[in-house]
Amino acid sequence: MSAGNEQAPVDQGAIDEIGRDVVAAAREEFVRYGIRRANMEEIARRAGVARVTVYRRFDSKTTLVRAVVMADVLDFVERFDRVLFGDGPAAERFADATALSVMELRRHPLLTTVLRSDPETLLTALTVEGQPEFELIKHILATRITTLIEAGDIRPGEASRIAEFILRLLYTTILMPFGELPGKTEDESRAFAREFIVPLIINRPA
Write down all domains in the chain, each with its CATH number in brackets. 12-201 (1.10.357.10)
Q: If the chain, 206 residues long, is cut into consecutive pieces of 10 residues, what is the mean pLDDT of each piece?
A: 52 81 97 93 97 94 92 95 96 96 95 91 89 94 96 92 95 91 95 94 72
Q: Give residue 81's pLDDT.
A: 97
How far, in Å, CA of 101 to CA of 197, rounded?
Answer: 14
pLDDT digits (tens, 9 = 90+) for 179-190: 999 999 999 999
How far, in Å, CA of 199 to CA of 73, rounded?
Answer: 27
How far, in Å, CA of 129 to CA of 152, rounded?
Answer: 36
Q: What are the CA-CA distances from residue 126 to residues 29, 91, 114, 130 (Å)?
A: 21, 29, 12, 5
Residues in CB range of 91: below 8 A, 6 or more apart: 194, 198, 202, 204
SS3 of residue 3 by DSSP? coil
Triad 105, 10, 117: Cα angle to 5°: 45
Per-residue 3-state assignment (H helix, E strand, C coil) for 78-141: HHHHHHHCCCCCHHHHHHHHHHHHHHHHHHCHHHHHHHHHCHHHHHHHHCCCCHHHHHHHHHHH
Burial status of residue 87 (CB atoms within 10 A of its CB: 0-12, 13-18, 19 or more) = exposed
How far, in Å, CA of 11 to CA of 9, rounded?
Answer: 6
pLDDT digits (tens, 9 = 90+) for 43-89: 999 999 999 999 999 999 989 999 999 999 999 999 999 999 999 99
SS3 of residue 202 by DSSP? strand
